[in-house]
Amino acid sequence: MRIVTLEEHISFPEMMAKIPKEALGGFGQSEVMQRLAPKLADITGERLKSMDANGITMQVLSVDSSGANRVSLQEAPAFAMQYNDLIAERIEGYEDRFAAFALLPLTAPEAAADELERAVKAYNFRGAMIRGVTDDQFLDHPKFAPIFERAERLDVPIYLHPGLPPKGVADIYYSGLPNHTGIAEALACYGWGWHSETALHVLRLLYAGIFDQYPKLNLIIGHMGEMLPMMMARSERAFKPGNGGANQRTLTETFHQQVHITTSGFFTQPPLKIALDTFGIDNIMFSIDYPFSTNEMGIAFLNATELPEEQMAKLAHRNADKLLKLKG
């Protein structure tokens, strides 16, 4: 069976070297991240061999940092453009195995919209990945409107991925804990904080009426829906139209029409069952989160999933093929 995964990460050391160390903070400097650095830099070597060994047909690649937001405002557009150029160069000739989401300079929204269009039209990138907040602002801020307008016009999705918590949040929520001189990274990021913040981000977009303002916009979130499936029924009651927010449709209607989730990093059946019961099979796409999770973990999970053949095909590739306009 054709298998497409679409939250699979890359990071090129020559681009990371352009980011001031003080802008990166401590995140990414751990022993684990140093060990994964070669895997993040590689595309057609070990990565491709692992895909072949595990029966993965295609990966959709995305940059593992909000790097363009970590350089100066003046440098950000050129940084994003150079990164996207390098990605396109390194997947050339492997278009049946790799596609990509564009890196955008979010600190310059007009330039970000232009770079999205350039990457889509010049390189056939399948949308963009945006990581967390930008300058402590969520995407419902009016200044980000050009990005949504352009994505809707180009008919490409935005993948909203967790990002580093803002300093004010980190200082209050994730500091002062035993055995940590800075923030507790596991708590602030991949163990909890990332996922709750992304769920909040999506709910802010709903509450602010962004989905109604851009009714053809498609949003993707990872990690089995970033806690939203578990909260769906309660949040549905809280965000009824006319209950204080600008949303004109219910949460469920909006999510079913415009929000898609991937399984990235989640490899047990109970979260998938909740996702199926809430978002539905047409809105779920298989992903692994390579190299932070292994292809072996992902494929073992997929093989253990018991669904009718038609639904398995949707999960493994058809939903992604349709949304991202992939060949196959």
Give the pair of three-digit tokens for residue 225.
């829906």
Scan for tokens 């047990």, then name that residue. 268
Residue 28 has pLDDT above 70, yes or no: no
pLDDT score at 34: 78
- Band (327; pLDDT cuts 50, 70, 90): confident
Kindly report the number of other CB atoms within 10 A of residue 124's CB atom.
12
Selected residue with higher pLDDT from 163 and 262: 262
- Band (204; pLDDT cuts 50, 70, 90): very high
Report the range of poorest mean pLDDT among 26-35, 76-85, 289-298.
Answer: 26-35
Selected residue with higher pLDDT from 39 and 163: 39
Are 61 and 41 in contact by the 8 Å Cβ rule? The answer is no
Kindly report the number of other CB atoms within 10 A of residue 325's CB atom.
13
Average pLDDT over residues 228-237: 96
Average pLDDT over residues 61-85: 93
Provide the 8-state DSSP code for 101: P
Kindly report the number of other CB atoms within 10 A of residue 8's CB atom.
29
- Band (26; pLDDT cuts 50, 70, 90): low
Cα separation, 87 vs 83, whole angstroms: 6
Report residue 214: phi and psi, to 5°.
-125, 75
pLDDT score at 20: 83
- Residue 227 to residues 64, 78, 304: CA-CA distances in angstroms? 21, 35, 22
Residue 31 has pLDDT above 80, yes or no: no
Number of domains in the chain: 1
Kindly report the number of other CB atoms within 10 A of residue 109's CB atom.
21
Cα separation, 30 vs 85, whole angstroms: 28
Cα separation, 52 vs 188, whole angstroms: 34
Cα separation, 40 vs 61, whole angstroms: 10
Please report, for the domain that includes residue 82, its CATH number.
3.20.20.140
The whole-chain average pLDDT of the chain stands at 94
pLDDT score at 279: 98
Are 284 and 262 in contact by the 8 Å Cβ rule? The answer is yes
pLDDT score at 180: 63
- Band (241; pLDDT cuts 50, 70, 90): very high
286 burial via Cβ count (<10 Å: 0-12, 13-18, 19+): buried
Selected residue with higher pLDDT from 33 and 157: 157
pLDDT score at 25: 61
pLDDT score at 19: 87
Are 267 and 291 in contact by the 8 Å Cβ rule? The answer is no
pTM of the model: 0.96
Report residue 25: phi and psi, to 5°.
65, -155
For 258, the 3-state DSSP assignment is helix
Domain that residue 187 falls in: 4-324
pLDDT score at 146: 98
Q: Which helix (H) or strand (E) holds 221?
A: strand 219-221
